[in-house]
Structure 1
Amino acid sequence: MKKKSRLKIPFLAVFILLANLSLAQEIIEIHVSPTGSDSNPGTVDKPIKTLHKVTAILGNMDSAELPKIVVWLNDGIYRISKPIVIDSTVKKSGIPLKFKAVEGSRPTISGAVELKHWTNLGDGIWVAEVPKNLGIFREFFVKGKRAVRARHPNNEYLRVKEVGADRRTNFTYHTGGFPQPKNAGEVELVVLHDWSITRIPIKNIDKNINSIIAADSIGAKGLDFFNLDQWEPNPRYFLENDIEFLDMENEWYLDSSASKIYLKLPLNLNPSQLSIEVPLAESLMLLEGSEESPISNVSFEGISFQYCRWNIPNQTYAGIQACNFDTQKGNKEWAVVPAAIRTTWGTNIRFENCEFSSLGGSGIWLGTGSRNCTIKNCRLQDISGNGVMIGEGQDRLVSGEPWWKDAPQQAALGNTVEDCDISNCGVQFYGAVGIWCGLTAETMLKNNKVYNLPYTGISIGWMWSPEVTPCRDNTIENNHIHHVMQTLSDGGGIYMLGLQPGSKLIGNHIHDISVNAGRAESNGMFLDEGTKDVLVENNLIYNIAKSPLRFHRASTNIVKDNYLFSNGKTPGIAYNNTPLENIHQEGNKEISTDQLDYKVLLKEAMSKYVRP
């Protein structure tokens, strides 16, 4: 009797046509290039053109008995208008699937389209028609760099003169504070709170009484401490998106009612000489499994992810913290700024030597049910929201109860961010953080560089009390965090809260956190409400305007063998509503800059802690 083939015929046909099988290495290889064709067989000399075609091919494979699959990406830009989705219809088993850059190349997955056909209006200002498929957008890039949406003032802030009676919807401004907008209905009001911001359309500007009225409540509705004058009597604000604010090079203004975009360039430049791009895709990569059948063993190596849009729902962003925001629909209905790349119920998903940049929402999110996933040696920069997100907050329901009560086993578990370079996040949503972790367990954040951020560097935990949650055994180790808290207040290089038994903050190097304009102070490390059972050991913290380490309503924790350099009379450790006996101290060196040997001690500490 003739022996039957172990490969089903539909897959065999696809396999012969589209893949190279190396029996010695047991690898199926598919080659892709922006100069290829989707009718090609996917060989080295005849590559496929699009990644959407690749996922279609993978979906037609019967992969139950296949070896590893490698998708090789050649150099160039892979433009997409919708995300690449890897789910159970694409990846049907746990065999390894790798998307890898060809050696010496840097392929880019881009969610942008080029904008062309500009008309010169003089004085460096150009105008173009906005294609219908672009609609309204918030990001705009010239020569790969984010252009500034026209704002007033250009760099600093205005100050509220007097808050309105309801403390939420209106305020008066100082005479001559800003040029009167040509189209007030297109203007966005941006108000800074201590640790978050609100972006909201203007309903009306009354020039007779110098009053600005917002389209809705400024600040999250269900939280009274977002009243306009809660933190500062005269909070900071600025205005964005009007032709009257278009006064600096590389600023732009979108007139959505007329479907026109205006751009101001140096007088010697012509848009036809430049690459001008607008994000179109709302996400770039989605890996979507289920609790019963997680997506597993998918990796990405040497790939750049660039340009992704996110438009604020209902045009109002009432930030709460770390890119959670109030939808303004009810007393407490929160949402989260989405990420360009997201895993849901993913196991052993890996991103290595990748870059994430020029993104309109957040960067990459290891979401619900993500386990043993790794982000290693990656660079994240120029991101509107958070850089990296791990796990989730409190709000998702299971059987009518918060997930962390009814199904704590669903927590993100054992995920790692290591050797990454994370900077310039929170470009639009200033309350963003470099790395945000919710109610996660066994998370490892190690050897990362986190810097140049408007708010906190690393934030972990999402329960403002010592109530039991799945949050435990998280480690933040040997990270270099500096020049954060540059715009907002009440955060730090590391911000932590809630019961996290077995968690550790060890060997971190944190410096250069200056005073900002908010009411609350910012610190090297801020361990907020409910922080309990945490070890803070062997950290170096200096050049902090306030206390290097602060506790607020914290429970029992251990602080051991840290170098804490403080300024003048500022204490090395601040205790806000935290009994001193809650914090067990051992071997710490609290050093004031007033000490004569301060510089010697700092040099000694840096030689011990600063790593190559």
Structure 2
Amino acid sequence: MKRESPIKILFFAVFVLMANFSLAQEIREIHVSPSGDDNNSGTFERPLKSLGRATAVLGAMDSHQLEKIVVWLNDGVYRISNAIVLDSTVKKRGTTFKFKAVEGSSPTISGAVELKDWTNLDNGIWVSEVPENLGIFRELFVKGKRAIRARHPNKEYLRVKEVGADRRTNFTYHIGDFPQPKKPGEVELVVFHDWSITRIPIKDISLDSHTITASDSIGAKGLNFFNLDNWEPNPRYYLENDIEFLDAEYEWYLDSLASKIYLKLPTDLEPSQLSIEVPLAESLLIVEGSEQNPISNISFEGISFKHCRWNIPNHTYAGIQACNFDTQQGNKEWAVVPTAIRTTWAHNIRFEDCEFSSLGGSGIWLGTGTINSTITSCRIRDISGNGVMIGEGQDRRVSGGPWWKIAPHQAALGNKVVDSDISDCGTQFYGAVGIWCGLTAETILKNNEIYNLPYTGISIGWMWSPEPTPCRDNTIAENHIHHVMQKLSDGGGIYMLGLQPGSKLIDNHIHDISVNAGRAESNGMFLDEGTKDVLVENNLIYNIAKSPLRFHKAQTNFVKNNYLFTNGETPAITYNNTLPENIHQQRNRKISTDDPNYKDALKKALSKHTTTPN
């Protein structure tokens, strides 16, 4: 056997040493664990304890010579009271940041605190003092599940007897509709409009006139179609947050004046056996650059983001659409329900195999100036507002004018949501959607399952006319959307509006939109005002309460090779203030339940379609 010379062996050893040294120079690892210590060095053997300390270490590092920094998160819950902020003080140019779960672990970043001191009041009702730092809150979680804020009725809703003279602030109720609240001033009135809701405090409940009076205008000011009886003469409503409504297991009531919280549990359970949590943090993660210095190349893998509070400003939420709401401070002054995770002026930000859940506002927002960022194989569920938001609306100003006219290059561009599971959004603000996209370009929403929503599955566009905006070349493809529009109306599996040249709705599978509440239709796809130059091709739509496809004040669009299954004599396509000749159709299959071959045709269509039920 040939033996290597000592010189060659020495040369090889030096080479390996230098290679390892070079690798160490290019990649740095920081380890974090809930059982660690922030005085540790952050190595595998001596991990840090908090993510706040980890970001401080990142900001203090001279990372210019490093190709990549990996922050490893071990199993456990990382409780935070303030958002993790990644900005130019933490992230230097060039270096890639990765926040990754250690293999086999499930780290959770939580903005909640636990409530542990409870007193038994009998009949399964327990009471606890509210810690001073919590103040007023809107959510409580028991065993990881959202508890119900005490409401009446427990299911469904009541009906207004008669709308008041001003059509905005008061109405009469039916005698016996609800038990008289102990503290009416702490009760929240929840009123349903066609595609949004209002949450507003009660000013007075008159036992003599059987009248409920709200603390301010119900519905967005300056928009007359929010008059209480505009859509229905006897709109739906219910009442929330009073001790008199605390009659079902896992309901809770907050007496903010006395700083006490009441919780009803099964009689065989005690709070000491459960994890009872209240959100404290108002945001969980902010990734923020600037237009001149965008932040880039950050990824999050295998991490859960959970529990984030949002208290309604001025205690009144007058929903307009898709979690835009009237601030009630002026005429047509709008705001947006904030998200727990937000990116602005950010490039190449990636969330993979992450979970966003139990959040009090909306979920995750790829916001202003976000480019080429992705949400991949993630789970978004149990969100009070929108699940995912991309881009922005019309309101931001640049040099005194609308940003989309003055600086259209600032639009969110090339972002993706793919292979993700999105469900149970809009748990508080029913006008929310699974994925909302504003004036965005080259957005791709592909192969997502979106379901169990009170309103629309996907909403894209934010201009109610064919006026040119930066919105273009968006693709919504191969998504499975079902059991949406469960509480509201005038939306659909996909809702689209405005001029979006080059955009496509292709190969989507939409079904089970069987609830049609309110006056307006609920559809498989609803292409609203100004929709123009859009291709609708090879979609499968069935089991829809109304028409599978609806156009309203739409312009020229192209509808090809779709399977449109209808209910009885319901038309496959509805044209509201739209010229039918402007909708260019080719080879669409329109099949009614009256057709004896309906079931066979649906079975055949399902077998051919590229997106099948998960």
**TM-score, length basis structure 1:** 0.96
Give runs of aligned pairs for residues 193-212 of structure 1, distance below 5 A.
193-212=193-212
Q: Which amino acid letter does the alignment assign opposite residue 83 of structure 2?
A: P
2:401 maps to 401
1:238 corresponds in structure 2 to 238
Partner residue, 1:497: 497
**What are the equivalent positions in structure 2 for 1:476-487 lying under 5 Å apart?**
476-487=476-487
Q: Give the counterpart letter for 1:372 in structure 2.
A: N
Q: 1:52 to 1:24 in 2, by over 3 A?
A: closer
Tell me the residue number matched to 2:328: 328
Q: Aligned partners of 1:67 and 1:48: how far apart in 2?
A: 22
Letter in 1 for 2:538: N
Whole-angstrom distance in 1 between the partners of 2:529 and 2:302: 40
Aligned AA (2:412)? A
By how many angstroms is 1:517 displaced? 2.3
- For 1:250-284, what per-residue CA distance to the aligned partner results, in whole angstroms no more than 9, with x for missing partners? 00000000000000000000001100000000010
1:65 Cα deviation from its structure 2 partner: 2.1
SS of match in other structure, 1:122: coil
2:587 alignment partner in structure 1 = 587
1:403-450 residue CA offsets vs partner (Å, 9 max, x unmatched): 001000000000000000000000000000000000000000000000
Using the alignment, how far apart are the partners of 1:231 and 1:571 within structure 2?
Answer: 23
What SS does the aligned partner of 2:258 have? Answer: coil
- State the distance in 2 between where 1:22 and 1:351 align: 29
Deviations 1:442-481 (A, max 9, x none): 0000000000000000000000000000000000000000
Partners of 1:376 and 1:235 in 2: CA distance: 40
**Deviation string, structure 1 residues 182-241 (Cα, Å, up to 9, x no partner):** 000100000000000000000011110000000000000011100000000000000000
Provide the C-alpha distance between the structure 2 equivalents of 1:490 and 1:570, rounded to a whole number of angstroms.
16
Structure 2: distance between partners of 1:22 and 1:600: 65
Deviation at 1:24, TM superposition (A): 6.7
After superposition, where does 1:95-494 map in structure 2 within 5 Å? 95-494=95-494
Distance in 1, matches of 2:504 and 2:544, equals 21
- The residue number in structure 1 matching 2:9 is none
Structure 1 residue 515: deviation in Å? Answer: 3.1
Q: Distance in 2 between matches of 1:250 and 1:313?
A: 27
Deviation string 1:321-359 (CA, Å, 9 cap, x unpaired) is: 000000001101100000000001110000000000000
Does the CA contact (< 8 Å) of 1:515 and 1:546 recur in 2?
no
Q: Judging changes above 3 Å, is the alpha-carbon distance between structure 1 residues 213 and 21 closer, same or farther for their aligned structure 2 residues?
A: farther
Amino acid at match of 1:222: G
Task: Read off the aligned partner of 1:71 and give its amino acid letter.
Answer: V
Q: Provide TM-score, normalisation by structure 2.
A: 0.96
SS class of match (2:121): strand
Name the SS for the 1:23 alignment partner. helix
**Is the contact between residue 516 and residue 545 of structure 2 (CA under 8 Å) also seen in structure 1?**
no
Q: Counterpart in 2 of 1:41?
A: 41
Partner of 1:529: 529
In 1, the alpha carbon distance for the partners of 2:572 and 2:467 equals: 28
Deviations 1:502-541 (A, max 9, x none): 0000000000001332000100000000000000000000
CA contact (8 A) 1:161 1:172 kept: yes
Q: Paired residue for 2:568?
A: 568
What CA distance in whole angstroms lies between the structure 2 residues aligned with 1:296 and 1:145? 35
* Distance in 2 between residues matched to 1:472 and 1:287, nearest whole Å: 25
Distance 2:501 2:385 in 1: 29
In the alignment, which residue of structure 2 is the partner of 1:74? 74
Q: Deviations over 1:72-105 (max 9, x none)?
A: 0000000000000000000021321000000000
Aligned pair count reads: 593
Matched, 1:597 2:566: no
Aligned partners of 1:286 and 1:490: how far apart in 2?
33
State the secondary structure of the residue aligned to 2:56.
Answer: helix
How far apart in 2 are the matches of 1:214 and 1:575? 38
Structure 1 stretches of 5 or more lacking a match?
A: 1-19
Runs of 4+ in 1 over 6 A off after TM superposition: none
| Amino acid aligned to 2:591 | I
Whole-angstrom distance in 2 between the partners of 1:436 and 1:39: 42
Match of 2:88 in 1: 88
Give SS of 1:71's match. strand
Q: For residue 330 of structure 1, give the secondary structure of its aligned residue in structure 2.
A: coil
Contact 1:537 1:561 in 2 (8 A): yes
Following superposition, the deviation at residue 26 of structure 1 comes to 3.3
Partner Cα distance (1:46, 1:58) in 2? 17
- 1:274 is aligned with what amino acid? L
Deviation of residue 62 (structure 1)?
Answer: 2.2
Gaps of 5+ in 2: 1-19
How many angstroms apart in 1 are the aligned matches of 2:25 and 2:106? 24
- C-alpha RMSD of the superposition: 1.0
